[in-house]
Amino acid sequence: MAVAVAAVRAGWRYARPVGWKLGCCPGQSRAGLSGAAGRWPGAAPKGAPRLLGVAALALGGALGIGHTVRGRLKSQEQLAKQAPPELAEGRLQLTLYQYKTCPFCSKVRAFLDFHALPYEVVEVNPVRKQEIKFSSYRKVPILLAQEGELLQQLNDSSVIISALKTYLMSGKNLEEIVSFYPPIKTVNDQGKEVTEFGNKYWLMLNEKESRRLYNGKEARTEEMKWRQWADDWLVHLISPNVYRTPAEALASFDYIVHEGKFGVVEGAVAKYVGAAAMFIISKRLKSRHHLQDDVREDLYQAVNKWVAAVGKDRPFMGGKEPNLADLAVYGVLRVMEGLEAFEDMMCHTRIGPWYLRVEKAIAEAQGNY
């Protein structure tokens, strides 16, 4: 399956996988994954064999989950030689460092695209990470935002989204806004030191600005609640479902090898070692997050819970248009497009109409519908 994707303005335009439509249950799709996945498809997992790391390096960025991305992917040298695009206000220049198949990165792209914010993309190699060697923060997404002479680095998908939304809604400068989301060092359940960010689901708006955006305090609280749910629960259902069975894992890597035109050795490494490793790792993730024996049931329950929260009386949680929670949930789910897990979800849950409405709203925001 060839998936044509054109870069429009500075965002993405996606083509629907051939043969898919709302309400049908086609056979298993062979849309691909980019590289090896740890917490999400496309990121090199901890504990994976070094050989798998080589496969990820070979694959890194060549394919996405259901999306072959072409167009505005630039190297750092290319970015240095040209002025990146500016926002409509003429103030910010944005560069997103990402893995294409990371749901957190997909969330940021959904936000940027819906708000029609131009941005350049730098695809990060998931093994070497040379593209972000300038940063002590070693995760993606990272957003560089230049405002006049000031170059500001924003880390964490929810911080990026909250800070930019605050910027668009208020008269504050970005440096001041970022200071409201301080990094906090904590120790996770595995005893590892991690960086969290304070206030990351809050928009730093005064009362007048809040009234322009929200129809009451309940709407703001609801949006924050479901943004956090997307990060804390929904995102952890992706990898276990994508690599649920050996056949699903193998089919995904088979597509990568076929489309990538690898040599015999490279193809064998990517297809068999990668698929086997990711099947095993998906079982560890299933245990860590206490998922059911059939992880599809967790996915179905989660998206139906979301649809119930949106309700029947409004097209989006945001009302007439998507809010930050709509865009977050859509961004997370989008990385499964073209895979069997996505098709099963669309067939066996009530998510389809809402999903297509968000997709249409993003396309319309970019003038591409």
25 as an active site residue: the answer is: no
The strand ranges marked E within 188-327 are: 193-197
* Residue 52 neighbours by CB distance under 10 Å: 24
Name which of 100, 79, 94, 123 is nearest 3 in CA terms: 100
105 as an active site residue: the answer is: yes
Spell out the residues 6+ positions from residue 320 whose beta carbon is closer than 8 angstroms to its own.
314
Q: Which of 97, 105, 255, 342 is catalytic?
A: 105
Q: Number of H helices and number of E strands within the chain?
A: 15, 8
Q: Which of 97, 104, 114, 181 is catalytic?
A: 104
Strand partners of residue 144: 95, 153
Q: Measure Cα distances from 321 to 87, 310, 314 in Å.
A: 21, 12, 9
99 as an active site residue: the answer is: yes
Find out whether 131 and 124 touch, Cβ atoms under 8 Å: yes
* Burial tier of 140 (Cβ tally within 10 Å: 0-12, 13-18, 19+): buried
Token output for 213: 């955006």
Q: Which of 97, 102, 167, 253 is catalytic?
A: 102
Q: Which of 97, 99, 180, 316 is catalytic?
A: 99
Residues in the chain, how many?
Answer: 369
Backbone angles phi, psi at 118, to 5 degrees: -65, 145
104 as an active site residue: the answer is: yes
Strand partners of residue 122: 97
Token output for 215: 């129809």
Tell me the catalytic residues: 99, 102, 104-105
